[in-house]
């Protein structure tokens, strides 16, 4: 049996790093971890190939080779998914599909031959058993969650790691919190399920064996869902692993209560973590209460961020505007918070309601779902009818992005961060690729870029004040260039084309 695993193309988004990749000579940010894991779950004797549309073209010859095409996709890849399915239909190739997009909206894909929903560890074996019997069904769906201890390591040999900016690895699924807008608990539940320490070390060894000496993203939605296991088992093992394996640096996502645990912070830094994405969402207590972000309430959020910075972990922050409780003053409050926090990588989005979330249910009941969910937090759209009115929200949102990604404010924020960030323990080697990226940054940002004054000001400031952070200063300058381009693409331009007219006319009075 010939199996072609196809990963749909990402549009240019905040997280695609598309405008940063050319600086480092890579084609995509991350490999398709889900499909690489699916490959390991398929029978060993089947022939498998993988085409990631983010690094190469999908040719008709690839499709005609396959007896079955496997697709996995997130909502943001929807457009590419539709194109791939159309091509498969035209060539009469059977398609099996799974992943978040298909699991949350299976009814939108009647043309897919086999929908393998929920966690593949549970549904894929059912599909494979039916294939053996010669009678595969249209939809495979289960309640409940799998035991990650039986998940095999991804089949890394199906990709060329040199195409990617970072590798990825999954330790846990599920989150103990229950934020109203978040679909993580819908997909994976509220009880964090973990791989064993042995599984993670095996996966790290396999990535290391490919020659990888660069960033590795722990994709967990909340890495610290089980802090005791981290402190007593996984982190000590990774600290030990690093003793004779240099050159890899980790980053992940966590909840803000990471700031409350100095021992955990210290161990993460020693294990080689250098940054963490945290959903801050809002500096406004009412908005945090509304979205059930209880872990962010009744605390000094600014001080929590700074405590994490002082430990040696850079905080990347997620922010949302458009909550029912938000007043027009929220826009300036968000700007002030972001600037003071020194969070250089600030992903600000308008509130969206992913299908399957409690927010989607609530707003459906209030007739406030206006369009489909794009899956991109920073594309200047929302699928909800905001209480403050869409025009107010859009104008305020646009003003935040213009403010925080103006070169002056962005580079000022980077300086705030570098002033407070403890120099991380783990560093990546200064290889040819990194030297070239520094050279390209000097040319494109320092000579040709509109921000050249700010760029050189930051370089000289860092050289004299925080020389150990020079590499990070260059990296953040490149990221800043990417974020500005994304803002120009989606947010600074006229919004009419990106919005649904029916949204504009509706304003719900408070
Ligand atoms: S803490 Fe993060 S992952 Fe957990 S429910 Fe909230 S938004 Fe989702």
Average of per-residue pLDDT across 298-314: 97
Average pLDDT over residues 254-269: 97
Top-confidence residue, 370 or 434: 370
Q: Give, for ligand 1, the residue of 183, 222, 293, 357 to mutate: max count of ligand atoms closer than 8 Å to Cβ.
A: 222
Q: Where are the extended beta strands (E) located within 76-143?
A: 94-98, 114-116, 139-140
Residue 493 confidence class, pLDDT cut points 50, 70, 90? low
For the chain, the structural domain boundaries read 2-22+30-140, 166-418
- The alpha helices in 368-492, defined as continuous H runs, are 390-404, 407-420, 432-443, 452-465, 470-486
In this prediction, residue 60 carries a pLDDT of: 96
Mean model confidence pLDDT for the chain: 93
> Which residues have a Cβ under 8 Å from the Cβ of 243 and sit 6 or more positions away?
none
pLDDT tier, 270 (very low <50, low <70, confident <90, very high otherwise): very high
Asked if residue 75 lies in contact with residue 354, where contact means CB atoms within 8 angstroms, the answer is yes
Q: Given pLDDT bands bounded at 50, 70 and 90, which one contains residue 98?
A: very high
CATH number given to 166-418 = 3.20.20.70
pLDDT of residue 497: 46
Residue 257 beta carbon below 6 angstroms from any ligand 1 atom = no
pLDDT at 432: 81
Q: In this structure, which topology does domain 2-22+30-140 adopt according to CATH?
A: Rossmann fold (3.40.50)
Q: Does the reported pTM lie above 0.75? A: yes
Phi and psi, residue 509, nearest 5°:
-75, 140
Asked which of 10-14, 161-165, 505-509 is least confident by mean pLDDT, the reply is 505-509
| Helices 262-271, 301-311: inter-axial angle, 10-degree rounding | 40
User: CA-to-CA distance for 186 and 14, rounded, in angstroms?
Assistant: 24
CA of 120 to the centre of ligand 1 (A): 22
Query: Measured from the CA of 293, which atom of ligand 1 is nearest?
Result: 6
pLDDT of residue 426: 67
DSSP state of 447: I
Q: Are 420 and 388 in contact (CB under 8 A)?
A: no
Q: Is the CB of 291 under 6 A from ligand 1?
A: no
pLDDT of the residue at 500: 43
- What pLDDT, on a 0 to 100 scale, did the predictor assign at position 298? 94
Confirm if 276 and 253 have CB atoms less than 8 A apart.
Answer: yes
pLDDT of residue 374: 85
pLDDT at 372: 84
Which residues are 28's β-sheet partners?
Answer: 164
Q: 3-state SS string over 196-257? A: CHHHHHHHHHHHHHCCCCCEEEECCCCCCCCHHHHHHHHHHHHHHHHCCCCCCEEEEEECHH
Ligand 1 neighbourhood includes 184 CB (under 6 angstroms): yes
Decide if pLDDT at 150 tops 80.
yes
Looking at the chain, the whole-number percentage of residues with pLDDT higher than 90 is: 83
Q: What is the mean pLDDT of residues 95-104?
A: 95
434/447 Cα distance (integer angstroms): 19
Q: Give distance in angstroms: CA of 256 to centre of ligand 1.
A: 10
Look at residues 313, 189, 216 and name the one whose alpha carbon lies nearest to residue 258. Answer: 313
Q: Ligand 1 centre and the CA of 295: distance in Å?
A: 10
């Amino acid at each position: 049996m010939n199996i072609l695993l196809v990963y749909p193309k990402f549009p240019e988004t905040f997280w695609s790093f598309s405008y940063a990749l050319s600086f480092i000579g890579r084609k995509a940010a991350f490999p398709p971890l889900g499909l690489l894991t699916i490959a390991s779950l398929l029978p060993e004797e089947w022939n498998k190939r993988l085409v990631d549309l983010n690094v190469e073209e999908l040719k008709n010859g690839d499709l005609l080779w396959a007896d079955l095409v496997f697709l996995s996709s997130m909502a943001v890849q929807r457009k590419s998914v539709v194109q791939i399915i159309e091509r498969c239909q035209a060539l009469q190739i059977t398609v099996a599909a799974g992943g978040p997009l298909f699991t949350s909206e299976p009814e939108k894909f009647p043309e897919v031959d086999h929908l393998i929903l929920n966690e593949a560890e549970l549904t894929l074996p059912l599909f494979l058993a039916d294939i053996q019997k010669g009678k595969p069904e249209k939809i495979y769906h289960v309640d409940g969650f799998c035991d990650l201890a039986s998940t095999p390591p991804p089949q890394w040999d199906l990709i060329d790691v040199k195409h990617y900016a970072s590798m990825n690895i999954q330790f846990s699924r599920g989150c103990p919190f229950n934020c109203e807008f978040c679909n993580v608990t819908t997909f994976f539940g509220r009880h964090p399920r973990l791989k064993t320490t042995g599984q993670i070390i095996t996966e790290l060894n396999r990535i290391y064996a490919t020659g990888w000496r660069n960033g590795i993203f722990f994709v967990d939605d909340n890495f610290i869902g089980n802090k005791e296991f981290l402190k007593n088992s996984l982190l000590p093992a990774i600290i030990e692993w690093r003793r004779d394996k240099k050159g890899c640096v980790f980053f992940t996502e966590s909840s803000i209560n990471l700031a409350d645990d100095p021992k955990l912070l210290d161990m993460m830094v020693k294990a080689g973590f250098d940054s963490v994405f945290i959903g801050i969402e809002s500096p406004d207590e009412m908005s945090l209460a509304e979205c059930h972000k209880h872990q962010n309430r009744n605390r000094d959020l600014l001080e929590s961020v700074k405590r994490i910075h002082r430990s040696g972990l850079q905080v990347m922050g997620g922010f949302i505007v458009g909550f029912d409780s938000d007043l027009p003053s929220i826009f300036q409050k968000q700007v002030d918070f972001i600037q003071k926090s020194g969070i250089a990588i600030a992903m600000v989005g308008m509130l969206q309601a992913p299908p399957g979330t409690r927010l989607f249910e609530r707003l459906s009941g209030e007739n406030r779902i206006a369009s489909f969910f794009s899956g991109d937090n920073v594309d200047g759209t929302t699928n909800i009818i905001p209480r403050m009115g869409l025009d107010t929200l859009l104008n305020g949102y646009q003003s935040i992005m213009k403010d925080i990604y103006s070169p002056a404010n962005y580079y000022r924020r980077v300086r705030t961060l570098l002033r407070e960030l403890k120099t991380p323990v783990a560093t990546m080697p200064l290889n040819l690729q990194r030297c070239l990226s520094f050279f390209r940054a000097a040319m494109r940002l320092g000579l040709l870029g509109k921000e050249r004054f700010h760029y050189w000001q930051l370089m000289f400031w860092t050289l004299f004040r925080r020389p150990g952070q020079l590499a990070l200063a260059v990296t953040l300058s490149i990221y800043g260039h990417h974020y500005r381009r994304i803002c120009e693409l989606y947010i600074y331009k006229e919004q009419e084309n990106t919005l649904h007219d029916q949204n504009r006319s509706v304003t719900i009075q408070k």
